[in-house]
Copies of this chain bind each other. A is one copy, B any other.
Amino acid sequence: MLITKSQVKYIQSLAHKKFRDAEGVFVVEGPKIVGELLRAPNLRSRVVYALSRWAGELPEPLRAVVTVVEESQLERLSALTTPNQVVAVFEKPVFQAPDFDKGVHLALDGIQDPGNLGTIVRLADWFGIANVVCSEDSADVYNPKAIQSTMGSIVRVSVRYEEPGALIRRSGLPVYAALLEGEGVYGIGRIDKGWVLIGNESKGIRPELQPLATRRVTIPRIGQAESLNAAVATGILLSHLVG
């Protein structure tokens, strides 16, 4: 099937947050993640453009219309240097209103790198954390790189954008804040409720949020690296606190 210029332009526009927000949708590429998202009960696809070999290998009936395109057409639609069989547009997932009075939640203060953000959402999913709250200056989780890094966890983890301070205060839950000069995470033990608060890749948690910390938590350093990657640090903290 032929694709029109306006279809190409529409897909390309969704590389920008402004257009994703206006339309309430996001783009995702590649057979593995698109396959998984098409099977998610809380997600609806708008359009799916795929090579015939991908469309022909789908293992089960899908609630989606797949438009088969030629390789040259997929190249026009794809943001990747090497297009990967399928480009799809999905509506953003909808989640039940979260219950912030109990359980463990993740709060992110100014995570800037989309890859880090997506990896953290995947981590939350691994450790059974259903809610991630991002400060409004964080990267957009529907950014193509972030979505790719979630590896499909975006359908199971609710990610919302809201200044975390007020939300944390209202919840009344304890706050485990990742800070360089805190107590070692190895001595804290498992928690069954609270916020795990992670800061920006280079600046850490902003000063206004730091007083919210019930416990200031550090990953003890043995060697000499100046810091850890934000997603790695989140993974280590979660494995010790909720793993």
Residues of chain A whose beta carbon lies under 8 Å from any beta carbon of chain B: 115, 119, 122-129, 149, 151-153, 156, 185-186, 219-229, 231-233, 235-236, 239-240, 242-243
Contacts and interface: CB of A to CB of B under 8 A. Distances in A.
A239 B242 contact: no
Contacts of A240: 239-240
Nearest to A127: B222
Contacts of A126: 219, 221-225, 228
A30 to B, nearest CB: 12
Given A128-B222, A219-B243, A232 B156 contact: no
* Most chain B C-beta atoms within 10 Å of own C-beta, residue among A125, A127, A220, A229: A229
B151 A227 contact: yes
A186 B241 CA distance: 11
Contacts of A185: 239
* Most chain B C-beta atoms within 10 Å of own C-beta, residue among A126, A149, A233: A126
B225 A151 contact: yes
B220 A243 contact: yes
Contact of A235 (B128, B222, B228, B242): B228
Contacts of A220: 243
B151 A226 contact: yes
Nearest to A234: B232
Contacts of A152: 225-226
Contacts of A224: 125-126, 128, 153, 156
A169 to B, nearest CB: 27
4 closest Cβ contacts across the A-B interface?
A: A128-B222, A128-B223, A125-B225, A232-B235
